[in-house]
Structure 1
Amino acid sequence: MVFSLPTFTAGMVLSISLIMAIGPQNAHVLRMGLQRQHLWLTVAVCAVADIALIGLGVLSLAQLGGLSDKLHGALVGAGMLFLTVYGWQAFQRFLHPTALVLNQPEEAKAEAGARAGRVQAAPVTRRQALLSALAFSWLNPHAWLDTAVLIGTASLAYGQGSTTFGLGAAAGSLLWFLSLGVAAFWLGRRLNSLHVWRALDAGVALMMWGTVVWLALSLVS
């Protein structure tokens, strides 16, 4: 493999441009960061899952010509179900908003919660956090179609430099999720209010259900 900085940079730019929109995966990272629950585990799992898809696309799917119709339909169906349920959960949080008491001693949490009408975030185990991050990464059809297929196909244009392109795309994914994790951690203390949580949950619900509609239309078109 001959390393080429322009090829590496092209892969990085394409990768970041594909994942920078606030999709299900990014929204989940933000929420875990705001709740102060297993943020860096979530960031690591999302980044590794994305890199795995990039590797799959660059090394195999592009050469195979993409996903089969049956696998495509199965991925879309599973994604629609997952996004519908998660959108409903976000909508319920929108209807019944609560700000969270974050990263304080137990006594301070109880006192602050009673004073401000806030509640402590429901505890999430490491296993639950890991499985949730994997679900948001691999049950989202856009992650497969955009990350694996699009990046894999784009890498073909670079011939023998396709591996360098893939490494750049992987580096872009890692850079993005690290930056998103830092932003979520920094914002956690500053944006913990009913208005912010309600706006976030409303946006997430609309985005999830809008994606479901778009996916349904893509199946019948």
Structure 2
Amino acid sequence: MIAPLLAGLGLGFSLIVAIGAQNLFVLRQGLRREHVLAVAAICAASDAVLIVLGVSGIGVVLHAVPWLVDVARWAGAAFLAVYGLLAARRAWRPSGETFETAEPTAPVAASVRSDVPEPVVTASQTRLVPVVLTCLALTWLNPHVYLDTVFLLGTVANSHGDERWVFAAGAIIASIAWFFGLALGARYLGRWLSTPRAWRILDAVIAVVMIAIGISLVLPLGP
């Protein structure tokens, strides 16, 4: 039981840790302290659904209907291009988003008072619905998600025979640990994003990665 669980955990981490559109979005939301738990939960739950579909054999069905992956590929490329252009616009014309150290303005109870000031984002907060829709699009319009999670992970899981669901459980645990760790751990990067210039650099990196991934979806490199 332990071997397939660890195998699923290892493969899950290896597929999910790579820098990509979804991870960058989770990181940015974590840095902004904005709907962090909702974003992490959506990503982890989506991965769990895709893993279950792959292990249950839906990957074979998708392989027989390749145009479904093509639809996701073109839709994902278009969405990533638009998201990348918006990030590029933020980098070119910043909104003044920074982190500042918030000092308490009134006495608080000793049991809840902290001697370490919390950094907070000074930019206006985005509403939950647009954030959720963006997160869902970055997850479900990315064809790599289907290739990695449904096809590859599902195929490897089924090679474990009766223990395939133990393997799937390991992969799901990896997904939950990664997304919640990334989203909640991003707050500790606040000290390096204390200036508008730092946010411009971050948005510029996001723009380049998003647009590059979008182009790679429609113009795959290699023979």
Preserved CA contact (<8 Å) 1:33 1:39 = yes
TM-superposed CA distance for 1:169, in Å, is: 0.5
Residue 126 (structure 1) aligns with: 128
The amino acid across from 2:49 in the alignment is A
Q: Deviations over 1:175-208 (max 9, x none)?
A: 1011101221222354232332122212211111
Residue 20 (str. 1) matches residue 20 (str. 2): no
Residue 66 (str. 1) matches residue 63 (str. 2): yes
Which structure shows the bigger proportion of residues in helix conformation?
1
Q: Please give the residue correspondences for 1:112-191 in structure 2 after superposition, counting only pairs within 5 Å.
A: 120-191=122-193
Residue 56 (structure 1) aligns with: 53
* Percent of residue pairs bearing the same amino acid type: 38
TM-superposed CA distance for 1:148, in Å, is: 1.6
TM-superposed CA distance for 1:98, in Å, is: 4.3
The amino acid across from 1:89 in the alignment is L
In structure 2, distance between residues paired with 1:138 and 1:67: 19
Residue 115 (structure 2) aligns with: none
Number of matched pairs: 206
Q: Which of 52, 74, 78 does residue 77 from structure 1 map onto? A: 74
RMSD over equivalenced CA pairs, Å: 2.4
Residue 192 (str. 1) matches residue 194 (str. 2): yes
In structure 1, distance between residues paired with 2:28 and 2:206: 10
* Structure 1 segments (4+ residues) deviating >4 Å: 101-105
Classify the secondary structure of the residue corresponding to 1:132: helix
Could you say if the C-alpha distance between residues 206 and 62 of structure 1 is closer, same or farther in structure 2, counting changes exceeding 3 Å?
Answer: same
Classify the secondary structure of the residue corresponding to 1:66: helix
The amino acid across from 1:59 in the alignment is S
The amino acid across from 2:136 in the alignment is L
In structure 2, distance between residues paired with 1:183 and 1:55: 27
Preserved CA contact (<8 Å) 1:47 1:173 = yes
Normalising by structure 2, we get a TM-score of 0.83
Residue 209 (structure 1) aligns with: 211
In structure 2, distance between residues paired with 1:220 and 1:179: 34
Normalising by structure 1, we get a TM-score of 0.83
